[in-house]
Each structure stands twice: as C-alpha cells, then as structure tokens.
Amino acid sequence: MSQPTPPKDTALTPAFWSPAYPRIQIWRTLLGIITIHVIFFAVTIGVFFAGAAFLQTDVTQMLDVSPTRTAMIFVTFIGYHIGLWIVLRVLHKRGFRSLFGPARRVNWRHFRRGVLIALGVNLAAILVQMLQPFFLPTLPEASAAQSLPLITWAILVIPALILVFIQIFAEELVFRSYLLQQLRARFRSIWIWAILPSLIFGLLHFDPQTYGINAVFYVLHTTVIGIVLAVVTLRTGNIGAAAGLHFANNAMLIFSGTKGTLDGFSLFLSEMDLTSAHMGVSILSQTAVVLVAFLLWSRRAGHVQPIANTAQAD
C-alpha cells in the first residue's frame, strides 16, 4: 500500500502539520498515543519508587511531604518526552524536533509573547474574581498565608521553574504537537484535530475527589484551553506561543496556589472549599476570561498558518 503524501499546496508551503507526512495512518496515531502513555505510566512508577529509595523512605511517606510530592509529580512528565522520542523514531520515522513544526525549533519570540499574554489573562481573571462578592454576597472568606519560609522558597524557585518547563512542554508536545500534527495532516474537521484531543486532555484532569461537582467545570475549562492552544499553534505555525501561555499559567502556582492542589512550591497558599459553588463560579469566570482574550487576539492576529484550507489527505 502506498504511503499518503502531502497535498501540493502543503508541499509548497510547509504547514505546522507537514512533518507528519507520510505516516499519518490512524492505526499509527492510536498505537503511538497508547505507547506514549504506557511509557509515561511506567516512568511515573519508576520515579516514585526511585525517589522513595533515594530518600530512604516508602512511597506513602514521601507523598506526605508537599514539596517532594509536587517535585515527583513534575518529574514524571519526563516519561512523555521519552515516549514521544521512541514513538516518533519507531512508528513515524521522524525526529523529535519535527514536533516543533517545519522549522524544527521553538519560536522563542512567540514563547515570550505567550508568557506576557498569559500573565495578562491571569491578572484579568483575578480582577473578575474580585467582583464576585457583588453577585455572590455569601462568598466565604478565603484565608491566605505564607506556606514556605522566604529563603526556602527562593532556593526552590529555579528548580521549580525548570520542572514546570519540563511538564508544560511534555503536555504541549503530546497534545498540541504530536496529536495535532497527526490528526490535522489526516483530517480537515476541527472536531477531530482540535476538539476531540482537547476533550481527552480535559478528561485527564477529571478529579471529583478534589473538586466534587466542580470537576466537570474543570474539565470544561481545560478542554477550552486545549482548543484555544491548538488553534493558536496552527495559526502561528509553531509550538512556542502555546508553550508560553501554558508555562506562565502553571508558573503562577510557584508564587500563589490553592491548598489541596499542586501546592508544594507555592510561597502563598489560600484555603477554600474546592467543591463549593463559589469555586465553580471561579472556574467558569476564568474560562470566560480566556475565551474573551482569545477572541480579541483572533480578531487582531494575522493568520500565519490557515487552520482548515488544505485538502484532506488520501
């Protein structure tokens, strides 16, 4: 059976997904994503047991120490990088850097812009939350306190930023590079190359034990984020902007976090009921801010890479 080849217009003007050609068969993509996650879970188990052995303790006791628990969780994302490297080499016969698009490198200018935009969006979300008492008069007070000594936190900042960098690039390369390239090269429908993978991405964040009914709103939030990042990636033709947005958003946790989440590196922690209606409103308001920011950007941004104008692959 002959291998699929890129349409003529894609061959003449390389798009973000063009490195996926010619091995875009669905069976390869499905086997690839399964293999990546098998390797990820294997590495996760290895990291936790290796960490427990290094600290001369058992896994359960290690997880009781908040900075250590958070660090271990972030380190496990190395498994995604390893899984991607193996799958790309064995199943798709292409290099790891092809995940960055035809240029085979990250556009760091886009990354910096993504960081600045994410900081702006987070500031806007904070301002929106400050208005909540006007339409939620029974809003309970959220107590905030310093959770780490300043010197300890200062020592942890650089390692924490490195771990966040590893984590966000792992997720972006799996969902906004590998899956996006493979599916966009094969299908034209946004439902297949953006919405479906983003829904999977969102469902991976489903945590009813922590969030209760708000876990549904959190899945919605992360799904919307995934769709936005997929469209941003294709329109900029590089993973840089999406990675910058993701990095700045997650790096905020190093300064301020919510108790009960990934709070091990946070200088300040606030305590609030993650299952409350107020938390649900907070999540939905953040989602609304993201959508407004995306619509404003979309109206002003030039479409460097069209998102659905290339003929479907054979």
Residue carrying the six token digits 């876990």: 215
**pLDDT tens digits along 167-202:** 999 999 999 999 999 999 999 999 999 999 899 889
Please list, in sequence order, all residues whose beta carbon lies within 8 angstroms of the beta carbon of residue 260, skipping any fewer than 6 positions away: 210, 274
Given strand 268-271, what is the order of strands in its sheet? 143-146, 268-271, 256-258
pLDDT tens by residue, 97-126: 999 988 899 999 999 999 999 998 888 877
Read off the pLDDT band of 67 (50, 70, 90). confident
**Domain regions of the chain by residue span:** 9-300
Provide, rounded to the nearest whole percent, the portion of the chain with pLDDT above 90.
Answer: 49
Interatomic CA distance for residues 59 and 29, integer angstroms: 34
Cβ-count burial of 252 within 10 angstroms (0-12 exposed, 13-18 middle, 19+ buried)?
Answer: middle
Please state, in angstroms and rounded to a whole number, the distance separating the CA atoms of residues 144 and 270.
4
pTM of the model: 0.85
Tokens of 170: 């792992």
Q: What is the rounded distance in angstroms from the CA atom of residue 223 to the CA atom of residue 232?
A: 14
**Confidence band (pLDDT; 50, 70, 90) for 1?**
very low
